[in-house]
Amino acid sequence: MKEHLKIMNLFGKLALLSMLPLAAASGADISINGAGASFPAPVYRVWSYNFGQSTGGKIEVNYQSSGSGAGINQIKDRTIDFGGSDNPLTKEELDKANLCQFPMLTGGVVVIANLRGVKPGALKLDQPTLAGIFLGRITRWNDPAIAALNPGVKLPKIKITVVRRSDSSGTSFIFTNYLSKISKEWNDTVGAGPAVKWPVGIGGQKNPGVCNNVARINGSIGYTEYTYAVEAKLSMVALKNKDGNFVAPTPETFKASAANADWKNAPGFYMVLTDQPGAQSWPITGVTYILVQRSQPDAEKAAALLKYFDWCYTAGAVSASRLNYVPLTENVIGQVRAAWAEEIRANGRPVKY
């Protein structure tokens, strides 16, 4: 209970921090509003504050962690200036909505577990066992399939409580995309998407909701973005990857997975990095995206918007790494800048920032 309260306080502080730009927005010359994925929300909050400081308060950026589904809907409706999503849209979907999409960061979705008496980080799961748990086929922690993977670990005879997202979520898209690749039964019966019909489990609202539920329920297992797990001090599970190696989630193993990304041949920058080959590749690696309208109504605000994203790629890379995300390489950033020049217009002209 004490640990649960600590986590609630942690995410409460993060929520308060996310509201700071709103309070100061009236003093800025330009106010930019974004919303969407909770996956990158910790670094977006830091970026928004630091970028605003770098402009002397002339440009203020606010980002609300509302979930990828909400971010996509709001940018389509033009109620925000940019949307955040971990569920990339296809080129056809982008063209239909007249949107430009580009990657901002790479990060890991991790499996978290609360198993009292088991040393943090000691638990290992392979592909069939992970899928079996989330399908509801494996229901006890001392199941022979789990025990065989964890010799020497004293597994309790308690029920497994699956915790998953209750909202439309890019983190869920990444996780279920992975399960669909490693399990034919999951692919045939549940599939991949930001919101699926989960076979078992209890829901949590956004990444903090999943972390809170896992923290308070002994015997629980869930999934979340790596930074949330680190900040909440939750135990993470080592997973067997495509090459057959058990790997722990770290920025280095996320980077190993992202090394296989072929951005030049990804229309609309559509990329899914789950189940990538490589001895050290983390199997549930994802990309978080930004969505903006191709036709910008205000040239000055459009310039400020691109200036902010460019700052995030350059000056913001250090803080992204400190928060355990993987910044994009310079060659990928160059491809993104080229896409801005080609696709984004204000009053029919390319945006100069």
The pLDDT tens digits for 190-240 are 999 999 999 999 999 999 999 999 999 999 999 999 999 999 999 999 999
Contact present, 84 and 70 (Cβ < 8 Å): no
Is the CA virtual torsion 320, 305, 224, 333 positive or negative? Answer: negative
For the beta carbon of residue 58, count every other beta carbon within 10 angstroms.
12
- Which amino acid appears at position 150 of this protein? N
Angstrom distance (rounded) from CA 48 to CA 28: 13
Q: Which residues pair with 34 in a beta bridge?
A: 63, 82
Could you tell me the CATH superfamily of domain 109-269?
Periplasmic binding protein-like II (3.40.190.10)
pTM of the model: 0.87
Angstrom distance (rounded) from CA 230 to CA 85: 21
Angstrom distance (rounded) from CA 305 to CA 309: 7
Angstrom distance (rounded) from CA 144 to CA 148: 6
Give the CA distances from residue 5 to residues 2, 215, 251, 254, in Å, rounded to whole numbers and listed in that order: 5, 9, 28, 30
CA atoms within 13 A on the CB side of 155: 22
pLDDT of res. 8: 46
Reduced to 3 states (helix: H, G, I; strand: E, B; else coil), residue 169 is coil
pLDDT of res. 241: 98
Eight-class DSSP state of 88? P
pLDDT of res. 171: 94
Cα-based angle 102, 104, 105 (whole degrees, multiple of 5): 135
pLDDT of res. 15: 43
Q: What is the CATH number of domain 2-107+288-350?
A: 3.40.190.10
What token pair was written down for 83? 């949307």
What token pair was written down for 218? 């002994």
Domain with CATH 3.40.190.10 in the chain: 2-107+288-350, 109-269
Sites in the chain below the pLDDT cut of 50: 1-8, 11-26
pLDDT of res. 28: 83
What token pair was written down for 296? 């910008």
pLDDT of res. 35: 97
Q: 282-315 as b/e, with b when 16 or more CB fall inside 10 Å?
A: bbbbbbbbbbbbebbeeeebbbbbbbbbbbbbee
Task: Compute CA 127 distance to the chain's CA centroid, rounded to the nearest angstrom.
Answer: 21
pLDDT of res. 346: 95
Cα-based angle 269, 97, 193 (whole degrees, multiple of 5): 60
pLDDT of res. 243: 97
pLDDT of res. 27: 73
Angstrom distance (rounded) from CA 280 to CA 102: 26
Q: Which residues pair with 108 in a beta bridge?
A: 285
